[in-house]
Amino acid sequence: MNQPLIKLYGVPLSGHCHRVKLFLHLLGVKYEQIDANADVRATAEFRKLNPLGQIPVLIDGDLAISDSNAILVYLAKRYAADSTWLPQDAMGAAQVQRWLSIAAGELRYGPANARIYALWKMGKDDPVRAAEIGRDLLGFMNQHLASRDYLASEYPTIADLACHSYVAHAPEGGIPLDEYPAVRAWLARIEKLPAFVAMPRSAIPEAA
């Protein structure tokens, strides 16, 4: 039986969309990329897929899944159930969930928001405060990664994918990575995974 074609609604410069795209590539799952710019997201057709009008949205057969971290969990359960991407033991699962929460919290309101302001001069949050949150988070991550290779396990998990994109692109938001060697080493490990695909860089100058 042929696998139904997966569709991924998103935009190239979104870290939320990239984390899903990256996981699809790492899993070797074929998909169709559909551009979902602001005009598309305002349509009634798209609102049927996600009433909140947010991206990414993944379509798998008759299923529509929204929220990037929820999509990562779905893909791990659906296409990599026997893998280490989503640990099955209680502590392993809890550690992954901890970092998914950080990705939706400090990472979102820190490096991601700082980058949004730098790229598009938009966002409701104070960019100075976003940079402060970002530096605090990177300091915490650097300490955490000083004694381990990955965020939640001895193997890469969806926690690493949820956090990679916006950390890697933090310099686009004016948050340099030179003070966080363990974070840079972690990024390099993720980027050496077979089939890794990078999120496009923006055209603005980056902080070193």
Domain boundaries, the chain: 6-79, 90-191
Residue with tokens 């502590």: 91
- pLDDT at position 90 is 98
Q: What single letter denotes the amino acid at residue 126?
A: D
H/E run at residue 19: helix 15-27
Domain 6-79 has CATH 3.10.20.30: no
Sheet of strand 31-35, all strands in order from the earlier edge strand to the far edge: 31-35, 6-10, 57-60, 63-66
Q: Which two tokens stand for residue 110?
A: 């820190």
- pLDDT at position 202 is 80
In this predicted model, what pLDDT tens digit does every residue of 9-25 receive, in sequence order? 999 999 999 999 999 99
- Percentage of the chain surpassing pLDDT 90? 89
> What average pLDDT does this structure show over 157-173?
98
- pLDDT at position 89 is 96
Query: Would you say residue 74 has pLDDT above 70?
Result: yes
Q: d(Cα 183, Cα 162) in Å, to the nearest integer? A: 14
- pLDDT at position 92 is 97
H/E run at residue 171: none
Q: Find the Cα–Cα–Cα–Cα dihedral 132, 13, 159, 67, rounded to 10°.
A: 100
- pLDDT at position 204 is 60
Q: d(Cα 25, Cα 40) in Å, to the nearest integer? A: 25
Fold equal for 6-79 and 90-191: no
Q: Could you tell me where the DSSP H helices lie in 62-180? A: 68-79, 90-104, 106-107, 113-120, 127-145, 158-168
Query: Model confidence at 208, in pLDDT bands (50, 70, 90)?
Result: very low
- pLDDT at position 1 is 45
Q: d(Cα 163, Cα 86) in Å, to the nearest integer? A: 15
In this predicted model, what pLDDT tens digit does every residue of 99-125 receive, in sequence order? 999 999 999 999 999 999 998 876 566
- pLDDT at position 184 is 99
Is 86 in contact with 93 (CB distance < 8 Å)?
A: yes
Q: Which two tokens stand for residue 143?
A: 């300490």
Q: What is the pTM of this model?
A: 0.93
Q: What sign does the dihedral 166-185-106-97 (CA atoms) show? A: positive
Q: d(Cα 123, Cα 77) in Å, to the nearest integer? A: 34
Query: Would you say residue 182 has pLDDT above 60?
Result: yes
> What average pLDDT does this structure show over 138-152?
99
Query: Would you say residue 77 has pLDDT above 90?
Result: yes
The dotted CATH code for 90-191 is 1.20.1050.10
